Amino acid sequence: MSKKYGILILFIVIFLSVRAQRDTIFGFAREDIIHDVCEMLTEDEGEESFESVYEDMMTLASQPIDINATNEDELEQLRFLSAQQIKNILLYVHNHPLYSLQELKIIPGLQEWEARNLAAFVTIGEGEKRKTLISDVFKYGQHEIIARTDVRKAEDFTHDPMYVQGRYRFHYSDKVQFGYSMRRQPNSKHVSHGGYIQINNVSVVKTIVAGNYQGQFGQGLVLSSPFTMGKSNYVLSVGMASEGLRKYSSLDGKGLHGLGTTLCFPVGKKQDFSSITVSAFYSLTKANDSTYRHIVGANLTYQYRKWKVGITAVENIYSDSLRYYYENARYNQNYFRGDNQAVAGINFRYNSGRVDIFGEAAVAQNKCWGGAVQVGTRITPIDDLGLIVLYRYYSPTFDNTLGHGFSETSRINDENGIYVGLDIQLVKKWRFSMYGDAFYFSGIKYGIPYKPSWGYDAMFLSEYRPTTNYYLALRARAREKAKQGTYSLRGRFDWNNNNWHFRTQAETNIVDGNSSRLTYGWCIFQDVEYRFRIPLTLQLRGMWFDTQNWNNRIYVYENDVLYAYSIPAIYGQGGRIYLNMRWKIIEKLSLYLRVSETIYTRSWMNKQNKNKPTITDIHLLLRANI
């Protein structure tokens, strides 16, 4: 044990190193704020969703929005803001340009902690966009170089445990972005790599993007980014997405690869905020190991004051007829098969701030044409009260792998459901969030071998913030799907005091499956974080857990090195500990280190790990800004 954590000796040297200014917002570390926002946005969404939203949030924080010269499209990228809060911000800065981020606290509709979150992604500018010169790009652009290596499951010497990643990124404000990444997974000789370049706001050209990129139009039934807002603690954020084409820095293969552009033409009177936006894109990716996929698409959007209407069409051309590994599985009989598929849809939105009505209808070519509809309304009668109602219907013959609309499953196919969410902040220092979602499947779904089937998902969250230094939350959730009910309860307490941060969290669940026996799971952990006077932060977590089987697993968010994410599924019985370090060695060079160990006393997975009772991971990342 002492050898594994011998790295602690290094901290003594660090403590004696040079002093520098820490990056804090209202007394909180910027990275901690970003992690907190991402955790709330991706509640129970899993690691795949978290990677995408975390990349977006980190990019936005590194290229902060000029709050005095922003617009609705920019602020909608901050998924934790409601439509009414965006309206309030734009109205306030139009009449009262900000001179300090502290003024965010007095914007109507923003609680003190919401102003803190917003401050991590914005900056105070002059309020006017000046013309960009080519010389400025090279003179003021910023370079970032990242080298990362992990040792995963260090005890298992029968495999290659090394994960290696390199990344280069360049950006000049939000005008020019360029990046290249490469990585090698453990037990693999293959090196994945990819890059992107994006140029924004050059005359009528709103965006040009090449390489790896993503797209989102409307509610995402035709084309959607890999991450869409599902059910989370931000109950009003459902149905909100940043539209358009933009770079995609992940190497998970879920984005598009090719070329896309968006042109924006103002029409009518300036005060009408009227415009026509035209987007066109092409992508070449692999559908599977032997089949290539050509994607050609376009979008036309017209905006007039509070109204926005768009039409999107996509053509998928496969190099060979698309097939599935389990070709005769009962759940996939309505999935698309063939070598050519057309998908088209029309979307709309009316947004006055207080009332936000949105929706999309789409059709997809299949055995026979299938249809899908998603429509909802978000109402904020007063700043501290919000309601959302969203209905979706996806016919059994509708299937589109480029779409990621609001859904109970990972595929928008054969589903009928309604979601209702309520957000209440009428009592000072308190916030109550709740949602209910009922869904119905007419056919057989993956993991549900009978038809028809139905289910529900309900959540209630109460939060208490007497000051920004204290946070207390209690969340209850009940779900039923495939005749299996899961009922969970979570409590959390945070305390900040100068450089100290403590977090205590406990969660338990009960699963009522097809058998008559109830199973349980629980975990409890304690976080301790200390920010030294020098630019050094240490985070320590100790966890204990006991879950009877896989259905009782508990997903717990964990801090990791920069641009990394970790939401492990906690199962079995045992303990877990990890130590994180963030150290800004000099102004433009930072070191991140994470050492974690899981010790099992009972686990059904021990056999797969060759009965090894421990799993140790080490992550090391070096970041240079030039």
Is residue 44 scored above 80 in pLDDT? no
- Mean of per-residue pLDDT scores for the chain: 86
Phi, psi of 558 (to 5 degrees): -130, 145
User: Using 50, 70 and 90 to split pLDDT, how confident is the model at 15?
Assistant: very low
**Which position has the higher pLDDT, 446 or 9?**
446
Q: Could you report the per-residue pLDDT of 385-421, keeping only the tens digit for each?
A: 999 999 999 999 999 989 988 999 888 999 999 999 9
Is residue 129 scored above 80 in pLDDT? no
Show the domain range for 626: 1-23+135-158+468-626
Across 131-140, average pLDDT: 71
Least confident of 70-74, 537-541, 576-580: 70-74
Residue 551 placed within a domain: yes
User: Using 50, 70 and 90 to split pLDDT, how confident is the model at 8?
Assistant: very low
Q: What is the pLDDT of residue 99?
A: 87
List CB contacts of 410: < 8 A, sequence separation 6 or more. none
Residue 490 placed within a domain: yes
Residue 298 placed within a domain: no
CA distance 211 to 198: 9
Residue 484 placed within a domain: yes
Q: What is the pLDDT of residue 396?
A: 93
User: Using 50, 70 and 90 to split pLDDT, how confident is the model at 383?
Assistant: confident
3-state secondary structure of 113: helix
User: Using 50, 70 and 90 to split pLDDT, how confident is the model at 364?
Assistant: very high
Maximum Cα interatomic distance, the chain, rounded to a whole number of Å: 72
Q: Could you report the per-residue pLDDT of 572-607, keeping only the tens digit for each?
A: 999 999 999 999 998 889 999 999 999 998 755 544
What stretch of H or E contains 56?
Answer: helix 47-62
Residue 278 placed within a domain: no
CA 36, chain centre distance (Å): 12
Q: What is the pLDDT of residue 367?
A: 80
228 secondary structure, DSSP code:
-
List CB contacts of 370: < 8 A, sequence separation 6 or more. 334, 363, 364, 395, 396, 397, 398, 399
Residue 624 placed within a domain: yes
Residue 542 placed within a domain: yes
The CATH number given to whatever domain includes residue 541 is 2.40.160
Is residue 608 scored above 50 in pLDDT? no
CA distance 365 to 299: 18
Least confident of 34-43, 502-511, 529-538: 34-43
Residue 420 placed within a domain: no
Across 455-476, average pLDDT: 94
* Count of domains forming the chain: 1
Is residue 155 scored above 70 in pLDDT? yes
Is residue 178 scored above 70 in pLDDT? yes
Q: What is the pLDDT of residue 238?
A: 85
Q: What is the pLDDT of residue 43?
A: 62
CA distance 386 to 236: 7
Residue the block writes with tokens 């804090």: 24
Q: What is the pLDDT of residue 25?
A: 76
**Which position has the higher pLDDT, 496 or 545?**
545
CA distance 501 to 31: 14
Q: What is the pLDDT of residue 7?
A: 47
